[in-house]
Amino acid sequence: MYRYDAFDRSIVHRRVAEFRNQTRRFLAGELTEDEFRPLRLRNGLYIQKHAPMLRIAIPYGLLSTRQLRALATIARRYDRGYGHFTTRQNLQLNWPALVDVPEILNDLAEVEMHAIQTSGNCIRNTTSDHFAGVAADEIVDPRPYCELIRQWSTLNPEFSFLPRKFKIAVSGATTDRAATLVHDIGLHALRGEDGGVGFRVIVGGGLGRTPMVGHVIHDFVPEAELLNYLDAILRVYNRYGRRDNIYKARIKILVKERTPTRFAEEVEAEWAHLAGGPNTVPEGEIARLAAHFEAPAYESLPPVDSGYRAARADNRAFERWVERNVFAHKVPGYAAVTLSLKKTGVPPGDVTSEQMEAIADLADTLSFGELRVSHEQNLILSDVRQRDLFELWSSLRTLGLATPNIGLLTDIICCPGGDFCSLANAKSIPIAEAIQRQFDDLDYLHDIGELDLNISGCMNACGHHHVGNIGILGVDKNGAEWYQVSIGGAQGKHAALGKVIGPSFAAHQMPAVIARLINVYIARRSEEETFSDTVRRVGIEPFKEHVYAEAHQA
Amino acid sequence: MPKLIKHDRVIDDAWTLLGADAAAGDVPATGPVLVPLRLWQAERSALLARGEIGVWLAPDEEPAKLAADVAQLPVIAVDFPKFGDGRGFSTARLLRERYGFAGELRAVGDIFRDQLFYLRECGFDAFAVRSDLDPERELAGLTAFDRVYTASTHTPHPWFRERVTRVAEAAPRDVWFPCG
């Protein structure tokens, strides 16, 4: 993974010093609340319901075990001994004290981490494919380009005060595992006819209050021009994005108002001035960055380990876990393993300090000392030998991290919701738990098959409810918490936004509502069809009818 | 006399800034004065004849409108009505890099130490910090960082173009994979 040099280190340390000074001025009354807010936000510090919340950047979801141990220590020393992994591959601490935050940032800097631009109206942490570098369907490893973008965007002087937050996602594989179509900018790394790397550029996607799927504005920007092209997009957005209304300030609104074609023309015109300029990336820099992501020293192994094959045949529970949580690796004899942070009764994405330390030990022993965070809020050991999988599974079971539910209904994406977040209209964690309890029969869960169920506590959509095959949105009705249900959403290359099925429900109705949706699917599905396929084929009406007809009778 | 941070130190500021609604009659007979773009466009030749004239731009005003005037204006100011309104950063870079303005580029409005570094990177060399603040103290903002990664007006090369030589000289052990 990327290792800091003296300059990288100096940037994060100067940032810590700057924030220490800003915090001191705020506590001394030299900065007003209004003045301090944008300054603390761009260091990832929110003021929440109960306490400040600190969002720590995990650039494109990549973590070393040293970093994970440091996070465990920080969570124990300054918080309540746990952290929450988010849909943007970051880690949130829910209970730090404001006065401690400069110290936390300092501890992070010691392990080459920071909270720079994890919030505020600036370019946020760049996200990517959690299987980058190991997926068999990878065309280009996106990580060197993610790091290039991280550096370009860090404290970018022209784009630090944008109309609104700005999120970039990069994918380099055939399957889009980075939700690139619902980001402000989505980039698909490709190879051109001559083998050179370039990027398909998608703008104006996003969730939130006005969900939209992005538009392709360029088919192939050569890698050398990537930063110039991004500068051009950001400049058009910084100058013309709306600043009069916070709800219309994202780039998607600008793209829509101008039309994607006209927006693309403006970007091209700006790019014409910038192309070939100082930010043109030399080949040597791309090679320098790529060298940080060179493959670890894989052993030469048979494609299928015999002990592993035997264990799968002998042990139903292990086999089930392999089916759901083990992902094919491009190197024979290896696998990528998802550690489920979706055990029933634990808020989705939450991990204790003890678990972090145990995971770090496992990653050191079994996976070259690195791990990844997925935007589905799980952790991944990316390079495990097949012959170690049984041992890993046994350890993970003890830790409560081996729930065999990746990609299934109970692998719920869920924001912190009303339990923590001051923006939320409704709680989301208890809804996730109630649904997980409703579907606690593993046979039934596996029979239902692949299904993304996403929950957001408000229309800011941190839980990506629009792109869930089933999406749940917390809404406020006269001060009471209600839940609106949509179906038909999808992420990936065929990203689609779900449609609301009708009037919202009370919290206690939600498990039954989900059960009814599943009943319709089970009754209507044809062979091999996923929930999402069935919805696409039969439409939302049959689901709607059943859910509301039953509700009347109940 | 009001103070101004210019070229990284505090000096007296002789310029008067006329508000957005100023008319020709509001321009004082003598003394350096900054006029709004609209007034400049309406009274260009008279103002040029008077001399000691600068123009200030609101965040939504196109810097291209001053493209033909850059050689004749000693000062251009860009207004930041709110700390969070970042349009002026792009305005500054365009004035410097695209239209070749070489005179004093001044940030005015809700300006305090926490933007100064970013403003200077984008080409501003003068800062009229908010009048309730002590400019001597606000100067600290200019040294928050030495530079950042990306290229900008003040730092014409991105760090990746300087990295090899500078890092090699400063700390050879820290060069992980020097590029050619």
Any idea what the Cα angle at residue A478 is, between residues A472 and A481, rounded to 5°? 30
**pLDDT, tens digit (0-9, with 9 covering 90-100), for A471-518:** 999 999 988 999 999 999 998 888 899 999 999 999 999 999 999 999
pLDDT value for A208: 84
Q: What is the pLDDT of residue B78?
A: 98
Boundaries of every domain in chain B: 3-144, 146-180
- Residue entry with tokens 């280009």: A140
The reply to whether residue A157 touches residue B85, judged by beta carbons under 8 angstroms, is no
- Give the whole-number percent of chain A exceeding pLDDT 90: 91
The answer to whether A134-290 and A413-553 have equal CATH topology is yes
Residue pLDDT, tens place only, A201-226: 999 999 888 889 999 999 999 999 99
Compute the mean pLDDT over every residue in chain A, rounded to the nearest whole number: 95
Closest-CA distance of chain A to residue B25, Å: 32
Model confidence over A238-284: pLDDT tens digits?
Answer: 999 999 999 999 999 999 999 999 999 999 999 999 999 999 999 99
* Identity of residue A270: E
Name residues 103-142 of chain B within 8 A of A (Cβ): 112, 114-115, 117-119, 121-122, 140
pLDDT reported for residue A527: 84
Most B CBs within 10 Å, among A3, A4, A18, A246, to test the B interface: A18
Residue of A nearest to B118 (CA): A157
Mutate to test the interface with A, among B97, B117, B160, B175 (most CBs of A within 10 A): B160
Give the pLDDT confidence of B29-75 residue by residue, as tens digits: 999 999 999 999 999 999 999 999 999 999 999 999 999 999 999 99
Which residues, in sequence order, are bridge partners of residue A350?
A84
| Domain topology for B3-144 | TIM Barrel (3.20.20)
* Min distance B129 CA to chain A CA atoms (Å): 14
CA dihedral angle for residue A345, residue A350, residue A351, residue A352, rounded to 10 degrees: -80
**Which chain B residues have a beta carbon less than 8 Å from that of A291?**
176-177
Instruction: Answer yes or no: are the C-beta atoms of B111 and B81 closer than 8 Å.
Output: no
- Is B150 within 8 Å of A6 when comparing Cβ atoms? no
The residues of chain B scoring below 50 in pLDDT are: 171-180
- Cα gap A51→A232, rounded to integer Å: 39
Give the residue from B82, B111, B148 with the most A CB atoms within 10 Å of its CB, the best one to mutate. Answer: B148
Give the CB-side neighbour count of residue A534, counting CA atoms within 13 A.
Answer: 24
**Average pLDDT of the residues in A373-400:** 97
Is CATH 1.10.287 the right assignment for the domain spanning A6-110?
A: no
Domain boundary assignment for chain A: 6-110, 134-290, 306-399, 413-553
Task: Tell whether B180 lies on the interface with A, counting CB pairs under 8 A.
Answer: yes
Size of interface A-B (CB pairs under 8 A): 126
Dig out the tokens for A365 from the structure.
Answer: 């022993």
Rounded-to-integer distance, Cα B40 and Cα B22, Å? 10
- Res A34 pLDDT > 80: yes
Min mean pLDDT across A48-62, A425-439, A535-549 is at A48-62
Residue-level pLDDT at B180: 28
pLDDT of res. A550: 57
A3 interaction partners in chain B (CB closer than 8 Å): 176
The sign of the CA dihedral A539, A543, A546, A551 is: negative
- In which band, very low, low, confident or very high, does the pLDDT at A554 lie, cut at 50, 70 and 90? very low
Q: Who among A11, A14, A158 is closest to B152 (CB)? A: A158
The answer to whether B86 and A161 have CB atoms below 8 angstroms apart is yes
Q: Does B175 touch chain A (CB under 8 A)?
A: yes
Residues of chain B found within 8 Å of residue A35, distances taken between Cβ atoms: 83, 112
Q: CB contact, 8 Å: B150 with chain A?
A: yes
What pLDDT sits at residue A495? 86
CATH number for A413-553 (one of 3.40.50.300, 2.40.10.10, 3.30.1390.20, 3.30.413.10): it is: 3.30.413.10
Closest residue by Cα to residue B152 from A364, A294, A227: A227
Q: Which of B121, B144, B151 sits opposite A278 (nearest CB)?
A: B151
Predicted local distance difference test score (pLDDT) of residue B166? 60
Looking at chain A, which residue has its C-alpha nearest residue B145?
A14
Chain A positions touching B149 (Cβ under 8 A) are 11, 151-152, 154-156
Using an 8 Å CB-CB cutoff, list chain B residues near A281: 160
Phi and psi based region of residue B8 (left: phi greater than 0; alpha: psi -120 to 50; beta: remaining): left
CA distance B101 to chain A (A): 16
Give the integer Cα–Cα distance in Å for B74 and B56. Answer: 12
CATH class of A306-399: alpha beta
Distance from CA of B95 to the nearest CA of A (A): 13
CB contact under 8 A, B85 and A243: yes
pLDDT digits 0-9 by tens, A308-329:
999 999 999 999 999 999 999 9
Inform me whether the C-beta atom of residue B45 falls under 8 Å from chain A C-beta atoms. no
Q: Give the other-Cβ count within 10 Å of A221's Cβ.
A: 22
Q: Could you read off the pLDDT of A48-84 as tens digits, one per residue? A: 666 789 999 999 999 999 999 999 999 999 999 999 9
Q: The CATH number of A134-290 is which of 3.40.50.720, 3.30.413.10, 3.40.1710.10, 3.90.1720.10? A: 3.30.413.10
- How near does any CA of chain B get to the CA of A145, in Å? 13
